[in-house]
């Protein structure tokens, strides 16, 4: 199935715009904490696929990050700065996945799906769709039970189109590590400077392959990123 979500079209337009608007810093959450553990309120650090298995939410963008980064357009801009972009011409093959972040909303479909752009945020994701690479799905914790604004990302490395975009061996750990490696430090894009720091968090997701899509085990590590706009 091919679908073109409205938010993907907005992000695609933003990615093509060489004159990005100056980031606005209005708060978008009410809970001044990095995130709330979904497991404490009936949620999970595994999303849900149409097979009944899940993919690990292995990166969290802290709710204490700059507010603009936590909004859809702001996150796409940040993603452009670290080598990711909207899917090829905003189109997506396959069904969206859903996640329950323990915020009172229950299972909610992904907000965005972004792909490695191979150095070209405009059309590089078309290349990723052919040859494989890193990609992520984004879910936002913003319900009445945990309105942190934190972004939970399911990041993974996938194979090329001839292998049906299946997840690479050890692809969940590799995808997470490559994304974090590419994001750390200071990044600049279209006049915006980002400072990114990382912290490893354990205990949110047990290591192993129980309940995980494709039976690919993970090490159980979730990386918490705090992204701050410094200019």
pLDDT tens, position by position, 102-150: 999 999 999 999 999 988 887 888 878 777 789 999 999 999 999 999 9
CA distances from 33 to 39, 49, 87, 147, 227 (A): 16, 28, 31, 9, 14
Whether the predicted pLDDT of 79 surpasses 80: yes
Q: How many CB atoms lie within 10 A of CB 228?
A: 14
Per residue in 10-62, pLDDT (tens digit) is 444 443 443 355 566 655 666 799 999 999 999 999 999 998 999 999 999 99
Which distant-in-sequence residues (6+ apart) come within 8 Å of 31 by Cβ? 63, 146, 147, 148, 149
Report the distance separating Cα 164 and Cα 55, nearest Å: 17
* Intra-chain end-to-end CA distance of the chain, in Å: 41
CA distances from 159 to 15, 74, 85 (A): 25, 28, 18
Report the distance separating Cα 74 and Cα 216, nearest Å: 32
Q: What are phi and psi of 211, to 5 degrees?
A: 80, 0
């Amino acid at each position: 199935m091919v679908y073109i979500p409205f938010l993907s079209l907005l992000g695609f337009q933003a990615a093509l715009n060489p004159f990005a608007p100056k980031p606005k810093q209005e708060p978008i959450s009410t809970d001044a904490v990095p995130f709330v553990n979904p497991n404490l309120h009936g949620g999970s650090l595994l999303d849900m696929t149409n097979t009944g298995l899940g993919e690990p939410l292995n990166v969290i963008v802290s709710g204490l990050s700059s507010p603009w980064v936590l909004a859809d357009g702001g996150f796409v801009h940040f993603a452009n700065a670290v080598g990711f972009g909207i899917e090829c011409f905003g189109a997506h093959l396959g069904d969206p996945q859903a996640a329950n972040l323990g915020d009172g909303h229950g299972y909610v479909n992904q907000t965005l799906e972004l792909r490695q752009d191979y150095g070209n945020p405009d059309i590089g994701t078309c290349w990723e769709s052919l040859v494989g690479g890193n990609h992520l799905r984004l879910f936002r914790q913003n319900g009445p039970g945990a309105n942190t604004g934190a972004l939970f990302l399911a990041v993974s490395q996938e194979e090329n189109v001839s292998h049906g975009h299946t997840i690479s061996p050890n692809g969940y750990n590799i995808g997470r590590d490559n994304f974090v490696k590419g994001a750390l430090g200071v990044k600049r894009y279209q006049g915006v400077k980002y400072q990114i720091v990382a912290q490893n968090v354990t205990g949110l997701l047990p290591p192993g392959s129980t309940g995980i899509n494709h039976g690919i085990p993970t090490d159980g590590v979730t990386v918490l990123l705090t992204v701050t706009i410094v200019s």
